[in-house]
Structure 1
Amino acid sequence: MDNIFETIVQAYQSLWHFKDYGNTLEIITPVATVNNMFVSIFITKRGDNYIATDGGWIDAGLYECEINWKANVFNKIGAFYLESFEIQRIYVKERTFYYKRIDQLELLPNIVFDLANFVNAIVSSANIQFVSDRVDMTFKKEVRGYLRREFGVDRFEYDKPLSDNMTIRFNAIERNHRGVNLINFVSGSNSSYYASSLCRSNMNFQLILPLRDRYSIQNTVTLLDDRKRSIIESPQVQTYYDYLIDNQNDKNKVILWSQKADLAQAI
């Protein structure tokens, strides 16, 4: 049994890493979030106090998620974890820092452990889509209103499949004498929701490709909500966005909402 214990301890210890920044020590813990990122905790000493913080990484989006404290469900979850782990927060240099403070060196591992688990809980919770994304629904409503005003009330069908025997739905379908144009709307209140919306849109267009001639599909258009640049430029979204841009052509087009006037030439 001693060998088992030593094996586990050695393996666990090897997962801890440190980076020394002079007055600050970064501890890269073995605590991993649901999106497979290891939690880092930053230690500084001020006077007689040792302070452990998340380094502002949650607020900066370095865990590839966006914390929406205004969302009713998440606000309750966040408040629960803040209270349970006795975490404090402070806004410094346009960024929120979550932290714990201690004045006894021997208790420092305790606050590192608490803060690491808090970061994991918050980041992991933010990656769960509890309800339909309201931003996504609001964007759909806004786009539909724009299409009706600019192109006429009856020009598009909304959230329907191409035929009754198909399960794939598209946000807007235009049928004309030349064929069919398909539009999908991409939006989301945080990086995870946005990336999910982008992937779903791209997958639906990929699935319809073999049936392009059968349904006389002329153009597919991905309409991207670009009003919140921090989301569309986040690492979690950028990979999928770059793929979409690299693969666009005369038949598969990408249009930003800020350039929605280009829709007239795309369909």
Structure 2
Amino acid sequence: MKLQDTFNFLKEKYCSFWQFKERGASLEIITPFATANSKAISLFFTTREDYFIVSDGGWLFQEMYDVDLDFDDSHFTKMFDNYLELFQISQSHISGNTAYFIKSRNHIDLPSMVSRLAQFVQIIVAISVISNDEKEPSKSFKAEANAFITEVKDLITEDWKLEHQIPLAGIRFPSTLRKSNMTVVFSYITGTTTDSFISSAGKTNLNCGIIDKQGYKHQYARKVALINDLSGGYDAKKIPIYLEQLNNVDHQIVWTKREEIKSLIYEL
């Protein structure tokens, strides 16, 4: 089915509120659906081999809807995975980007595919905009840490590749640096209260232990915990004893000494 045929087919199924734009080998479908933060939802149709494919074009992952997919939040991750399964949506990871898509060999399924994916985007954005006082400082530190690691990557002359939120052994780490068969995994420890800080530390140790036990240990050159020692939850008297228990982490680097990351990468 050609793009123009697809346009006519979908236009027949939907009303005039739907708009379409040809973008190379893809057709952008501008739906009348809006997100909770008033962004119009666009989807992208293309064909590959015998399949008709509708995807979000990587817009969710690229934060085109002005929301961050907070996979560090276990509640968000659980809901996200549930909706992936509910709407029968697949995902692909290409060049550091993640796209969510539905495919079928039957063009008759196209209206259903478009509706399902649009609803999925709508729901995920709605979940993402729900925030509380605990999440906002954590997101701010995550953004700062990601920006610093990006800066480190840009200073490195070796062929390192930076990726964010790419799933490794079923776990999403905020940042990874890759070079050939070598990977450096970064996990962030932060919190506005002592309890939330300790919980963050425990989650980091657990996740790093899981990738070891699932047989991925040989693929990781280093597992690094970047610790926000400027956060409200960092108590210099209480926290160190918990950080001593991070036996699954190779390196602990506090935020105020983050320049040590550069030395660590240069040594690899």
Interval containing the TM-score (normalised by the shorter chain)? 0.3 to 0.5
User: Larger Cα Rg: Structure 1 or Structure 2?
Assistant: 1
| TM-score, normalised relative to structure 2 | 0.47
